[in-house]
Amino acid sequence: MNSIHEMIDQYINYLIVEKGLANTTIESYTSDLNKYLLFLKSCKIHQIPDTDTTVILKYLLVLRDDGLGIRSRGRHLVTLRGFYKFLIQEKILKKDPTRIVDLPKTGIKLPDVLSVDEINTILNTPDSAKPRGSRDMAMLELLYAAGLRVSELINVKTQNINLEVGFVRTFGKGSKERIVPIGSHARERINEYLTHARPLLIKNHVSQFLFIARAGKPMTRQGFWKLLKKYAAQAGILKRITPHSFRHSFASHLLEGGADLRAVQMMLGHVDISTTQIYTHVARDHLKKLHEKYHPRG
């Protein structure tokens, strides 16, 4: 039988070749499994069949004692579940020792959501008369219009935008492609940017990226983060705002407006609908506040 180290290598190769997961995800899984391998060595366990549910539970306790929070321990358990599922799939094991181990209880952490008025205030803050302001306004509009992750936003290429039909083609986690519609406001802002501002910003350089910074290079995550903080401050919004706040707001506002959960799941690019369902709590909270405000017995 292959060593545990070799089995981990086989699993990681499977995730790369068969699943096509993103590099950051592969790095995370590799790190988690290497940590588990060190734990097994410390317990003098050298064969996978010698690992059972008790070993898994002991490992989670060690992670807790090492100071890992509930969410981090949960992530490690998810990694192990995937690994053992692969071993059963390859007929290396018959039983999954993680099957009856529950994920640590984290409770529901509601995402940071901006109101429609707050979103509108931020979107109108950049000075669109200036080239950089026009670019920033177009970026913010697209971020909210399509619910993009910041990494997706900065990597949008000019050929990924269809302003006539009104959609953006993007690549999310695991390089999974999805097409998301964009509304008239975003289309107008992007068209203004492409027509007037982008030629002034790119000058003599060539770039395939839609949103460019200096010397035709794409905007960085850190660069966009700084811009968002600046515009939030100028808009007088004091609550904590991140680029992901726009994605959260996109999903919550759609559901509040009556959008179908499955449709929102597709637009966000969530593989599992349970990931999208967290936004229903936000929508329910919104409806509860409306009921309390307007119902005679609220």
Decide if 36 contacts 77 (C-beta within 8 A): no
DSSP 161: E
Q: Which of 89, 77, 2 is nearest to 32 (CA)?
A: 77
DSSP labels, 45-84: --SGGG--HHHHHHHHHHHHHTT--HHHHHHHHHHHHHHH
Which pair of tokens denotes residue 73?
A: 């321990």
Question: For residue 128, what are the contacts with CB-CB under 8 A and spacing of at least 6?
Answer: 134, 137, 189, 192
Q: Give the bridge partners for 161, in sequence order.
A: 168
Asked whether the beta carbons of 207 and 217 are under 8 A apart, the reply is: yes
Binning the chain into helix, strand and coil, the percentages to the nearest 5 are 60, 5, 30
- What residues form DSSP beta bridges with 181? 167
Just list the catalytic residues. 149, 173, 244, 247, 270, 279
Q: CA quadruple 112, 118, 120, 126: dihedral positive or negative? A: negative
C-alpha separations of 104 from 25, 83, 113, 146, 259 in Å: 21, 18, 25, 33, 32
Is the CA virtual torsion 208, 209, 215, 220 positive or negative?
negative
